[in-house]
């Protein structure tokens, strides 16, 4: 099944070819499927080519979870999708610019010929030159007509490529954002955490993290329905976003759990951020949209930890998660943090600091 290309494909050609492969196999147009098809068409990884052919043969290509696992198995769990789409966008922008220049040149030539033809028709020309001028004018007019057709094709191509670029950008955005809350999704969170951990270990300042859980969230869903539960999630997400900087990463970690990555932030400063979030959420009142009925207040339990020398970011995450559950056990609606010293492993709690 594999189509081996004798010469490297341009990015936009590869994009179209990947789209054709996905369409023929019922694959969703999501970034990791494009990445998988890109590498498949390039044919530089024989094991991936064989695995994808087997996937198609057994009708598994339409399952996005299966194709993601296939890509991660043969490329690695940290495969970067955005670099592929960024490169594609760059090529498309260059092509759009080139086509637009061609279109402008064609229009200018068309205008110049029209003016020249008009002047010649009005000038007094010796009879012996009339035949030659008519021949040149006829040939030039044919060229003008050809240029007009080219101009229409160029403008159509520019529009098509612009729409393609917008689609790529939309797909990339959708692959990184949680649709319900507008926060970063779990995949984006994992990538950001890995990058922030590398920067912190490289001496770019301290790194802290918050793990947040909505208290009694199941009660909202069971009592008022899932739409109200979604309303609660969106409200909390807005509160979290309003308390962090643009360099921080607020994400929906899963279910009713949110997380905030705080680069260049000490444990003490992270505690202040956590307390602002907790207090802001506690002040909000949920009003059921369909009836205007005032419901219970929402509260958050938050765990906080800071990266320790030599450890991985996932270890810090696990300690923040442990602090979160300590906050739950201690009565909820509070911030619980590990102590500043790595040798002091017992979490401490802070409540109503504001």
List, in order, residues 6 or more apart from 114 with CB less than 8 Å away: 144
Question: Catalytic positions, please?
Answer: 256
Q: What is d(CA 94, CA 135) in angstroms, rounded to the nearest whole number?
A: 39
Which pairing describes strands 249-254 and 300-306: parallel, antiparallel, or unpaired? unpaired
Residue 49 CA to chain centroid, in angstroms? 26
Nearest to 156 by CA among 111, 89, 100, 85: 100
Indicate the SS3 state at residue 220.
Answer: helix
Distance CA 22, CA 16 (A): 10
Give the dihedral of Cα atoms 270, 276, 279, 280; nearest 10 deg: -130
Are residues 304 and 271 in contact, defined by beta-carbon separation less than 8 angstroms?
A: yes
Two tokens, residue 189? 């969170």
User: How far is Cα 336 from Cα 275, in angstroms, rounded to an integer?
Assistant: 10
How far apart, in Å, are the Cα atoms of 339 and each of 271, 312, 320, 330?
A: 11, 18, 11, 16
């Amino acid at each position: 099944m594999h189509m081996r290309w004798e010469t490297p494909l341009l990015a936009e050609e590869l994009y179209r070819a990947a789209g054709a492969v996905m369409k023929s196999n019922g694959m969703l147009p999501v970034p990791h499927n494009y990445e998988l098809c890109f590498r498949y068409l390039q044919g530089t990884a024989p094991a991936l080519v064989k695995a994808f052919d087997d996937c198609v043969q057994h009708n598994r290509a339409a399952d996005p979870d299966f194709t993601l696992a296939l890509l991660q198995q043969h490329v690695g769990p940290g495969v970067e999708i955005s670099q592929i789409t960024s490169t594609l966008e760059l090529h498309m922008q260059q092509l759009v610019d080139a086509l637009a220049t061609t279109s402008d040149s064609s229009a200018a030539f068309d205008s110049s010929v029209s003016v020249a033809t008009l002047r010649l028709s009005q000038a007094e020309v010796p009879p012996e030159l009339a035949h030659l001028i008519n021949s040149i004018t006829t040939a030039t007019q044919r060229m003008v007509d050809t240029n007009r057709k080219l101009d229409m094709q160029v403008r159509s191509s520019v529009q098509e490529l612009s729409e393609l670029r917008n689609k790529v950008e939309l797909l990339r955005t959708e692959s990184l954002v949680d649709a319900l809350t507008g926060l970063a999704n779990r995949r984006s969170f994992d990538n950001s955490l890995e990058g922030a951990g590398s920067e912190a270990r490289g001496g770019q300042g301290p790194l802290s993290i918050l793990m947040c859980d909505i208290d009694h969230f199941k009660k909202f869903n069971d009592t008022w329905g899932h739409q109200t539960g979604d309303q609660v999630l969106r409200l909390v997400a807005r509160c979290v976003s309003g308390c962090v900087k643009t360099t921080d990463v607020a994400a929906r970690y899963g279910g009713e759990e949110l997380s905030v990555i705080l680069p260049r932030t000490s444990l003490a400063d992270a505690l202040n951020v956590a307390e602002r979030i907790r207090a802001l959420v506690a002040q909000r009142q949920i009003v059921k949209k369909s009836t205007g009925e005032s419901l219970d207040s929402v509260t958050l339990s938050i765990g906080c930890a800071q990266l320790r020398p030599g450890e991985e970011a996932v270890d810090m995450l696990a300690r923040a998660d442990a602090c979160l559950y300590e906050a739950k056990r201690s009565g909820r609606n509070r911030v619980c943090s590990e102590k500043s010293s790595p040798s002091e492993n017992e979490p401490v709690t802070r409540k109503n600091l504001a």
